[in-house]
A and B are shown apart, each in its own frame.
Chain A
Amino acid sequence: MENNIVLHMKGICKVFPGVRALQNVEFKLRKGEIHALMGENGAGKSTLIKTLTGVHILDAGEIFMDGKSIINHSPQQAQENGISTVYQEITLCPNLSVAENLFIGREPRKAGFIDWKTMNKNASELLESLDIHVPPTQELDDCSIAVQQMIAIARAVDMQCKVLILDEPTSSLDDDEVEKLFALMTKLKAQGVGIIFVTHFLEQVYAVCDRITVLRNGELVGEYTTEELPRYQLVAKMMGKDFDDLADIKSAHDNVKKPKGLPVIEAKGISHKGTIREFDLTIEKGEVIGLTGLLGSGRSELVRSLYGADHADTGTLKVNGEEVKINAPIDAMKCGMAYLPEDRKRDGIIADLSVRENIIIALQAKRGMFKPMSRKEMEDAADKYIEMLQIKTASRETPIKSLSGGNQQKCIIGRWLLTNPDFLILDEPTRGIDIGTKTEIQKLVLNLADEGMSVVFISSEIEEMLRTCSRMAVLRDGKKVGELTGDDLTQDKIMQTIAGGKDNG
């Protein structure tokens, strides 16, 4: 059984400046199996793949192919060793024919010239053998994304690969196309190719995979066969269910009576093509609602479509009972919304500007270009939030980029509190932040809710959400699948809802 192993990665370590991306990870791939590599964002999936394909050089550990130790310094070398990768984005040439794409760089030649006839013949044989029905002379651009994906796979397979890595191949495919892709994968599996399948979609894992390896925080959680690991447990393993004691900061706040009135947010049938399917959501005044689900389940996309960061394609939105039209974030801000984005560096901070400018800029944008804030007003506002949120900075004129992640995050929170919102969206406000600051932010959220602000709270850590949220909406695969309140707000119940399906372990 064990000599079936085609690929064995042993004791893999990879350190990036300041981050231990992989720590002593082991991964085994057997001949003719489809092996899912699972983990939340930052778990180390892509780093592991990249050390395997030679994009990153590993700091420690060994890789064995068929029992022989190999080192890949580049993707080309990996390919020579029989490891091929197909990425989420197609990396073929769209203006060449199918056959050209299949044989580019290794065209059959006759007297120095490309032998088109042989090439097209070989191509059609190859496609036939894999049940891909497309004429080899067709231009790649005219094929559907799924077919393009399959051609990329066919190309990889024809290069004598023993290990095929599929990095989220299904994220841009519809259900039919996914079916076709799975058929192809099953066929390759029968031919003895070992397939590593990286995906966020649970359904798909259970549809095709034989084994599952779970990573968390750069460490191996374990390797399981699909049968022995029900969905519910898989979710638990990915999220890490080693509960610290629920520091019960919430119960103190439960006593505060929330006045009933018009809901702050009433969304009906809002959707954004390709990211979030139609959903309804009602948020009361002074309520903290959590959005949970695995990465890619659409929790960020849901709030983005509310806030106008992504323009909603369908549906209506009522704010405080009045229907509003939101075309851009500024419209949402004028309705009293505020949005702390998930990716602080890309969407949050304005790196070269000072702490003061970063704090006041949203209010300034809301007021408009011709009503500039006076220097004094800016300084007072900045000082107020530096003190209130205990932002550690040399001065208010320090560039925000020289602050630590947690303090940057506090600046962004200060930025939004300054606009005095009724409805605050916090997308992963505590990611990459030390424990102390995390607790501060959680307490702050509860205090704000007591003062009547409505908050949407998104986090990958369920226990954190349990501490702060009074209601949770659960998302799966771009769809809102349930809401939980009161006694249903338990880890188990949430995980079951996230996992879905019948096999709730």
Chain B
Amino acid sequence: MADKKKFDFRRIKQHHLFLPIICLIVVLLSNLIKTPDFFSISIRDGVLYGYIIDVINRASELVILAVGMTLVTAASGGQDISVGAVMAVAAAVCCQILSGGQTSVDVMQSPLIIAVIAAVLAAALCGAFNGFLVSHLNIQPMVATLILYTAGRGIAQLITQGQITYIRDNAYSMWGSALPNLIFPLPVYFAIVVVVIVSIILKKSALGLYIESVGINANASRLIGLNARRIKFITYVICGVLAGIAGFVASSRIYSADANNIGLNLEMDAILAVALGGNILSGGKFSIAGSVIGAYTIQALTTTLYAMSVSSDQLPVYKAIVVVIIVTMQSPVFQKYVNKIKLNRAMAKEKQRRGNAV
């Protein structure tokens, strides 16, 4: 009986989501020290409120970005660091169309759907640009996306003519807030819909398998008839589209397009989410679920640090510490080192056992 139980636990431990979930739980539980009512939830107007709901709500953009980042990482073995800037571009396009060129409007000047489609298309174009550089010109993903990382916010400024464009219309800002009787704030639904749709696409087509195959061995993939370039390109376009959606959500939260602040530093959080989710940053096998858990972990970490009255200036330091720990744990050198220690211990034990036997 006891044996069987132990065996089961081992299997759970080997599951690829084991570590990510443990991380999330540790971070969440650590809140109880400072904030005993962290898990308490209240209901007002059919909408849930509470710290935990706040974490889920604020993580929405990050979850959306992390999904795109996971695909890019898996296929190309590199990351798209331009997603934060692409969010700003999408927000700028969206708000500029809605404002009809003015700095601040109280009523939307164009249909929302057109503005959103335009914003997402602009973001898709950014993604296609990145994808072209990476897949067709073989530029390192980090370097290729550095271009839009630096230029993106400038482009957003150009679109809004250097102003912060405000759309003070409830029909716009509602997308970033909570509506009565919908249980969760709307951004949460955006995140859910994105995760569900991407998961369905990966499940109902062979794209997931193709991406993994190309990420693991591009040479072999080409020889079995896969178009490695096209597959990498597609992941960058998807990543761009998702950044566009995230940009729209972020912009509707503050009912404006603030080119300098929308999605600021979010690309690093998205990469961290992918890593925290147990995905290898050099490409290959991936888990969307892992990245989603990773994204919630990071938002929980941020909220926790705020709750522990860490100032926002110092926040990156603590995040950096987490990144260092994760990257070290994933590195082959470290794993070799751990295995060596394990082996030495096992050998010492074996020696001892033999010594006892004699």
Answer whether A357 and B223 are a contact pair too, CB < 8 Å, given A349-B217, A352-B285: no
- Cβ of A39 under 8 Å from chain B: no
Q: Mark A294-330, 1 if CB is under 8 A from B, else 0.
A: 0000000000000101000000000000000000111
- Cβ of B78 under 8 Å from chain A: no
B224/A361 in contact, CB under 8 A? yes
B217/A361 in contact, CB under 8 A? no
* Chain B residues with CB under 8 A of A349: 217, 220
B206/A364 in contact, CB under 8 A? yes
B204/A350 in contact, CB under 8 A? no
- Cβ of A16 under 8 Å from chain B: no
| CA–CA, A357 and B206, complex, Å | 11
A372/B225 in contact, CB under 8 A? no
- Cβ of B221 under 8 Å from chain A: yes
| CA–CA, A333 and B212, complex, Å | 21
| CA–CA, A133 and B223, complex, Å | 45
A353/B212 in contact, CB under 8 A? yes
Q: Mark B199-240, 1 if CB is under 8 A from A, else 0.
A: 000001111011011001101111111110000000000000
* Chain A residues with CB under 8 A of B217: 346-347, 349-351
| CA–CA, A357 and B209, complex, Å | 8
Which chain A residue lies CB-closest to B213? A350
- Cβ of B284 under 8 Å from chain A: yes
Which chain B residue lies CB-closest to A332? B225
- Cβ of A293 under 8 Å from chain B: no
Main secondary structure of the interface of B (DSSP, over half): helix
- Cβ of A369 under 8 Å from chain B: yes
A347/B216 in contact, CB under 8 A? no
A370/B224 in contact, CB under 8 A? no
| CA–CA, A116 and B143, complex, Å | 38
B213/A329 in contact, CB under 8 A? no
A347/B223 in contact, CB under 8 A? yes
Q: Give the shortest distance, in Å, between A258 (CB) and chain B (any CB).
A: 29
A341/B209 in contact, CB under 8 A? no
Within 8 A of B (CB), among A347-365: 347-353, 357, 361-362, 364-365
A329/B224 in contact, CB under 8 A? yes
Which chain A residue lies CB-closest to B217? A350
- Cβ of A339 under 8 Å from chain B: yes
Q: Give the shortest distance, in Å, between B286 (CB) and chain A (any CB).
A: 11
Interface range for A: 20 to 34
Q: Give the shortest distance, in Å, between A29 (CB) and chain B (any CB).
A: 38
Answer whether A365 and B225 are a contact pair too, CB < 8 Å, given A346-B219, A349-B217, A370-B205: yes
B225/A330 in contact, CB under 8 A? yes
A372/B221 in contact, CB under 8 A? no
- Cβ of A162 under 8 Å from chain B: no
- Cβ of A366 under 8 Å from chain B: yes
Answer whether A364 and B209 are a contact pair too, CB < 8 Å, given A348-B220, A349-B220, A372-B204: yes
| CA–CA, A152 and B126, complex, Å | 46
* Chain A residues with CB under 8 A of B225: 328-330, 333, 362, 365-366
- Cβ of A415 under 8 Å from chain B: yes
Answer whether A352 and B205 are a contact pair too, CB < 8 Å, given A329-B223, A365-B224: no
Which chain A residue lies CB-closest to B283? A352
| CA–CA, A487 and B35, complex, Å | 90
A351/B216 in contact, CB under 8 A? yes
| CA–CA, A364 and B225, complex, Å | 9
Which chain A residue lies CB-closest to B204? A372
* Chain B residues with CB under 8 A of A348: 220, 223
Q: Give the shortest distance, in Å, between A326 (CB) and chain B (any CB).
A: 11
| CA–CA, A350 and B284, complex, Å | 10
Q: Give the shortest distance, in Å, between B154 (CB) and chain A (any CB).
A: 33
* Chain B residues with CB under 8 A of A333: 224-225
* Chain A residues with CB under 8 A of B284: 352
A328/B209 in contact, CB under 8 A? no
| CA–CA, A501 and B153, complex, Å | 69
Q: Mark B33-69, 1 if CB is under 8 A from A, else 0.
A: 0000000000000000000000000000000000000
Q: Give the shortest distance, in Å, between B282 (CB) and chain A (any CB).
A: 11
B216/A350 in contact, CB under 8 A? yes
Answer whether A328 and B213 are a contact pair too, CB < 8 Å, given A352-B284, A369-B207, A372-B204: no
Enumerate chain B interface residues (CB-CB to A < 8 A): 204-207, 209-210, 212-213, 216-217, 219-227, 284-285
Known: A350-B217, A353-B216, A367-B206. 17 other contacts (CB 8 A): A328-B222, A333-B225, A341-B223, A346-B219, A349-B217, A349-B220, A351-B216, A352-B216, A352-B284, A353-B209, A353-B285, A361-B224, A364-B209, A366-B225, A368-B206, A373-B206, A415-B224
* Interchain Cβ contacts under 8 Å between A and B, 27 examples: A328-B227, A330-B226, A330-B227, A341-B223, A346-B217, A347-B217, A347-B219, A347-B223, A348-B223, A350-B212, A350-B221, A352-B212, A352-B285, A353-B209, A353-B216, A357-B212, A357-B213, A362-B225, A365-B226, A368-B206, A369-B206, A369-B207, A370-B205, A371-B206, A372-B204, A372-B205, A415-B224
